[in-house]
Amino acid sequence: MIIEEIQGLLCEKFGDKISPVEAGAVHDSCILVDPASVNAICQYLYDDERLAFDMLMCLSGLDLSPEDENLSVVYHLFSDVHLHKVAIKAVVSKENPHLPTVENIWKTANWHEREAYDLFGIVFEGHSDLRRILLPDDWEGYPLRKDYKEPDTYRGMKVPY
Amino acid sequence: MAAEGSKFIEVQPFSDEMVLSMGPQHPSTHGVLKLELRLDGEIVREAIPHIGYLHRCFEKHAENLSYPQIIPFTDRMDYIAAMNQNWGFCLAVEKMMAADEKFSGVPERAEYLRVLVGELNRIASHLLSFGTYGMDIGAFTPFLYAFRDREEILLLFEEICGARLTYNYIRIGGVSRDMPPDWLGHVKNFIDYFEPKVDEYNALLTENKIFIERTVKVAVLDEDMAINYGITGPNLRGAGKKWDLRKDEPYSIYDRFDFDVPIGHDIPRIGAVLGDCWNRYKVRMDEMKESVKIIRQILNQEIPEGPIIAQYKAVRPPAGEIFDRSEAPRGELGFYIVSDGSVKPVRLKAKSPCFTALSALQELSKGLMVADIIAIIGSIDIVMGEIDR
Amino acid sequence: MRQFFSIVDNLSEVAVGSSKPLASLLVEILPPLPAFLEEYEQLLAMITACGIFVAVVPLIPLVLVLAERKVSAFIQDRTGPMRVGPWGILQTLADGVKLLFKEDLIPPYGDRVLFRIAPYIIVCFSLAAFVAIPFGAIDLGDEQYIFIVSNLNIGIFYILAVSSVIVIGIIMAGWASNSKWSLLGSLRSAAQMVSYEIPVGLSILSVIMLVQTLNMQGIVDQQGSGLHSWLIFRTPFSFVAFFVFFISAIAEVNRTPFDLPEAESELVAGFHTEYSGMRFALFFIAEYANMFAVCAIAATLFLGGWQGVLPGIDILGGLPGFVFKTLFLVFVMMWIRWTLPRLRVDQLMNLCWKYLIPVSFFNILGVGIWMLVLGADTMDMKSLGPSLVIIVLAVFILLRQVFKGVSGTKQETIPAPSI
């Protein structure tokens, strides 16, 4: 199934929550979805037999530039039943980066969402154990954001090189 | 657990529970991994992995470097199979560059060289996993045999690119250096020497009754659970699913070679069930033989002459995003690259196979013994460099 | 004072049969003492015998440490220590000197007294087992002198008792280190050693039934008629008992495949994690001394001790023969260590309680019935004949089964390419 068909099926079910596929996009196109309904949409993608996306390949946070006031979460899904892929993107604002978790659908999202929280500060509602994974538990700041400034000290040690 | 400004977590263990930290420095956790074990005597109630001790900010660095400059960093992710890491990254970038007219595509000779070094590195990586797994289970000798053979492979790599562990050999559009004149002869010598060794190692460790007792029926990871956890590679094949990117979504020139994809089986004779530690380990042993097959097929063909790197002006992939995956020895290595048309990526995310495999440890280890935890970690074959990046 | 010396006199003449222990030998061969020391002769001889024992026996572990490194290197396709001395012979000496200079670290919150005592207990009781082992014999005139420090009436029983005390030392070491890992290791070790005492004792029992004496020298005497009189061949059940004893002995000494207490990959170093310097060296000395002791016991009880292969002809006989037999068994232990992986705790316990102990009981029963049916004198051809036939047949069938399972023909190994 190519991405337009998948997008068609999603539009049937969720209507206005789905944006059209970006025309003229190079390489991989992705389907923009409304952040609040991410869980419902992913559940549909997982359950429906024509789609059957049973593997979450990758979940990444994305920050395009320091002036941009939005963060994105990109989900790359794969179905090993139908052998098709899709990329879903949800855009949240930097002041209030909340969106529902998909941990109940794909267990691998547990650690991926923790990493997105750790590096971008994106809060996943309903996550069972949202704490930092790669950085120390008491680190301040979200390093992969474009406007990130390193703290001057961490536990008394000088941080900038 | 609250998300806002999470600090340290207070743990109140039960009074009959012992909290043991299989700490960051430990002879057999394959790197700096901290396992917090809640033990009831010898039985593990819970094993919580804590990672991040080897986090080197790879993704942040990548945003400040041009694409060719990122390649040495990928070496250091899974440093044991560094060629495959380079290759995965270069594949993703080349796919993006394909839309650029000035990019001439990867030449044939480079593809053959890439497959050769990729498969040799696969053998080296599986040898190391075999050796360290034996050592963790208590058999010290296979470790030394594995390293003796791995040494031969590292000598081959030293001949072709000058480095033993972090190669920076596979570049965007090809490879960095052509092979020395008699390199193929050395590869042939090695393959002739190595092929019977796999049977020897099977007789030494795989068929050993004590090893079998330690690994069969331990931590069964069935297919549905593996897919839900996003586990790929030999761990998924050990659960019975015949899925190998080299066969099912062939990249490079893998579609020209004839090789099998070994999977796990139920073997009543020794008691192995699908998805247990023994099967995951056995898949790696069989994969070594398949890699030998591929290398032999290349040695029997004539590698075409020609350039070893593509023609292009500069690595400026057109704006857009891509997610591409390749079959690394530990699973599917994925790169998600967002480009805005400049020489540096806007976002580079490396999805490492061991990251997803280790996340399953918490569920797999409930109710097992401390000795089994070691068996599981060895069988899912993790490298912390890749997990923490 | 006089009563003390009379006791000493009596002790030194405790000799079952006509053989006399080392002290008496010394009395014989050393030049006569000046007059004022006459009455202390026996006492001085005993002290000298003990002195020889203390000087020689602890050197055995030092040799074994080097042997282990060389054997393991040979098995693992490398050379082992080669720099210190020709072919690395002086390596242990260098290691000893290094360990002496290390910092003596005692865990601050552990139990200091127990921490200090534990290595000594383990070493002393490991070495104490050597007191009752006959190393060889020498004929002077019409008296036979045995190289044994004390020919105890209850020889083998004393050895078993003394080796059991080692468990206490191990528990002390684990507890006093104030580390959960050490504690886990030492408790595993205690459980293991106590469990495996039982098959050890029971297999020894099945051979004692054949010789009707606990005295070590007496046991060796009864194996003097040649290869076929060795206790291992007297009944098929004692043949099995040898293997049960050997496996249980490996478990007693905490060697792979039973080396959970010091499992490197799991517990860092188990109960001796927190020890450094000479204290650590003492643990090693104790382990190798213990290993040599159980192999010596196996050689004495099953393989004829210092008796040779044929009566009168001294092949594999005397002190060199005994040492050769023991070292061969030590080599087999090392060989097994570097080949086999480790058993898990529950599998280890399973093996002991569900397999080895029933087999040992069966052995005792078997030996008893054998002696009842075929005569208590197992040297009689009526008994020895069938025994040898059964043993040879069983070994033949077993070996055929083993080699049938080895698949593939023996290939010519291609040498590693030299690039």
Cβ contact B55–A74 (<8 Å): no
**pLDDT, tens digit, 9 for 90 and up, residues C261-297:** 666 545 556 677 778 888 888 888 888 999 999 999 9
User: B58-388: what fold?
Assistant: Cytochrome-c3 Hydrogenase; chain B (1.10.645)
By Cβ distance, the residue of A106, A128, A134 closest to B55 is A134
Q: Determine the residue of chain B that is closest to A28 in CA distance.
A: B322
Return the axis-axis angle of helices C166-176 and C155-164, rounded to nearest 10°: 10
Cβ contact B138–C415 (<8 Å): no
For residue B33, list chain C residues with Cβ-Cβ distance below 8 A: none
**d(C-alpha B270, C-alpha B202), whole Å:** 14
Q: Does any CB of chain B come closer than 8 Å to the CB of residue A136?
A: yes
Cβ contact B138–C268 (<8 Å): no
**pLDDT, tens digit, 9 for 90 and up, residues A136-151:** 888 888 888 888 888 8
Between β-strands A157-158 and A153-154, what pairing exists: parallel, antiparallel or unpaired? antiparallel
Cβ contact A131–B1 (<8 Å): yes
**pLDDT, tens digit, 9 for 90 and up, residues B147-175:** 999 999 999 999 999 989 988 999 998 89
**d(C-alpha C182, C-alpha C203), whole Å:** 32
| 3-state DSSP of C38-80 | HHHHHHHHHHHHHHHHHHHCCHHHHHHHHHHHHHHHHHCCCCC
Q: What is the reported pLDDT for A64?
A: 86
0.90 exceeded by the pTM?
Answer: no
Q: What is the set of domains in chain A, with CATH numbers? A: 3-158 (3.30.460.80)
Calculate mean pLDDT across residues C235-243: 89
Average pLDDT, chain C: 81
Nearest-Cα distance to chain B for A15, in Å, is 25
For residue C17, how far is the Cα from the chain centroid? 25
Cβ contact A131–B230 (<8 Å): no
Residue A22 tokens, joined = 């970006």
Assess whether pLDDT exceeds 90 at residue B194. Answer: yes
Question: Hey, of C71, C74, C179, C340, which one would you mutate to test binding to chain B, going by the most B CBs within 10 A of its CB?
Answer: C340
For residue C184, list chain B residues with Cβ-Cβ distance below 8 A: 20, 370
Cβ contact C341–B26 (<8 Å): no
**d(C-alpha C130, C-alpha C60), whole Å:** 11
Q: What is the reported pLDDT for B118?
A: 93
For residue B148, list chain C residues with Cβ-Cβ distance below 8 A: 77, 416
Could you give the ipTM of this predicted complex?
0.90
Task: Give the helix/strand (H/E) hosting A36.
Answer: none
CA distances from A127 to A44, B2, B7, B84, B349 (A): 19, 10, 17, 34, 22
Burial annotation B168-193 (CB, 10 A radius, 16+ → b, else e): bbbbbbbbbebbeeebeebbebbbeb
Which residue bears the tokens 């990019």?
A: B103
By Cβ distance, the residue of B136, B156, B369 closest to C265 is B136
Direct distance between the N- and C-terminal alpha carbons of chain B, in angstroms, rounded to an integer:
25
Q: Residue A68 — pLDDT band, cuts 50, 70, 90?
A: confident
Cβ contact B52–A80 (<8 Å): no
Of residues C244, C154, C248, C153, the one with CA closest to residue C206: C244
| DSSP letter, residue B304 | P
Of residues B162, B77, B186, B166, the one with CA closest to residue B121: B166
Omega of the bond leading into C341 within 30 degrees of 0 (cis): no
Calculate mean pLDDT across residues C8-26: 58
Q: Residue B125 — pLDDT band, cuts 50, 70, 90?
A: very high
Assess whether pLDDT exceeds 60 at residue A24. Answer: no
| DSSP letter, residue A62 | E
Assess whether pLDDT exceeds 50 at residue B332. Answer: yes
Length of chain A: 161
Q: Residue B10 — pLDDT band, cuts 50, 70, 90?
A: low
Q: Does any CB of chain C come closer than 8 Å to the CB of residue B194?
A: no
Q: Does any CB of chain C come closer than 8 Å to the CB of residue B26?
A: yes
Assess whether pLDDT exceeds 50 at residue C17. Answer: no
**d(C-alpha C85, C-alpha C61), whole Å:** 18
| DSSP letter, residue B200 | H
Which residue bears the tokens 């092929």?
A: B195
CB B203 within 8 A of CB B125: no
**pLDDT, tens digit, 9 for 90 and up, residues C152-191:** 888 888 999 998 898 898 888 888 888 777 787 788 888 8
Contact present, B and C (at least 3 Cβ pairs less than 8 Å): yes
For residue B223, list chain A residues with Cβ-Cβ distance below 8 A: none
Q: What is the reported pLDDT for C18?
A: 52
Q: What is the reported pLDDT for B189?
A: 93
Calculate mean pLDDT across residues A58-79: 88
H runs (alpha helix) in B209-325? 209-215, 223-228, 234-238, 245-248, 277-300
By Cβ distance, the residue of A26, A65, A107 closest to B228 is A107
Return the axis-axis angle of helices C277-302 and C318-337, rounded to nearest 10°: 120
Cβ contact C257–B210 (<8 Å): yes
Neighbouring CB atoms inside 10 A of C363's CB total: 27
Residue B318 tokens, joined = 């057109």
> Bridge-partner residues for B321, per DSSP?
A27, B338
Length of chain B: 389
Nearest-Cα distance to chain A for B125, in Å, is 23
Q: Residue A21 — pLDDT band, cuts 50, 70, 90?
A: low
Nearest-Cα distance to chain C for B32, in Å, is 14
- State the chains in contact with A (3 or more Cβ–Cβ pairs under 8 Å): B
**d(C-alpha B206, C-alpha B213), whole Å:** 11
- The pLDDT > 70 percentage for chain B reads 95
Average pLDDT, chain B: 87
- State the chains in contact with B (3 or more Cβ–Cβ pairs under 8 Å): A, C
CA distances from C307 to C57, C130, C214 (A): 21, 18, 18
Name every residue in C having a CB less than 8 A away from some CB of B.
Answer: 72, 75-78, 180-181, 184, 256-257, 259-260, 263-266, 268, 338-347, 406-408, 411, 413-417, 419
Nearest-Cα distance to chain B for C249, in Å, is 18
**d(C-alpha B282, C-alpha B130), whole Å:** 9
Calculate mean pLDDT across residues C74-81: 88
Calculate mean pLDDT across residues C6-21: 54
**pLDDT, tens digit, 9 for 90 and up, residues B272-326:** 888 899 999 999 999 999 999 999 999 998 888 888 888 887 888 888 888 899 9
Q: Give the E-state strand segments of chain B in sequence order.
A: 18-22, 34-40, 43-50, 170-171, 174-175, 320-328, 331-339, 347-351
Instruction: Please state which of the ranges A50-64, B128-142, C258-272 shows the lowest mean pLDDT.
Output: C258-272
Q: What is the reported pLDDT for C419?
A: 42
Q: For chains B and C, what is the number of CB pairs under 8 angstroms? A: 99
Task: Give the helix/strand (H/E) hosting B92.
Answer: helix B82-97
Of residues B270, B304, B262, the one with CA closest to residue B286: B262
By Cβ distance, the residue of B8, B355, B389 closest to A137 is B8
**d(C-alpha C276, C-alpha B145), whole Å:** 31
**d(C-alpha C24, C-alpha C11), whole Å:** 11
Q: What is the reported pLDDT for B43?
A: 85
Higher pLDDT, B101 or B197: B197
Cβ contact A87–B52 (<8 Å): no
For residue B196, list chain C residues with Cβ-Cβ distance below 8 A: 411, 413-414
Domain locations along chain B: 58-388
Q: What is the reported pLDDT for C409?
A: 42
**pLDDT, tens digit, 9 for 90 and up, residues A80-118:** 888 888 888 888 988 888 889 998 999 999 999 999 999
Q: What is the reported pLDDT for C268?
A: 59
Residue B289 tokens, joined = 């033989």
Type of residue at C326: T
Q: Residue C410 — pLDDT band, cuts 50, 70, 90?
A: very low
CA distances from B98 to A76, B91, B95, B327, C231 (A): 21, 10, 5, 21, 81
By Cβ distance, the residue of B95, B228, B318 closest to A108 is B228
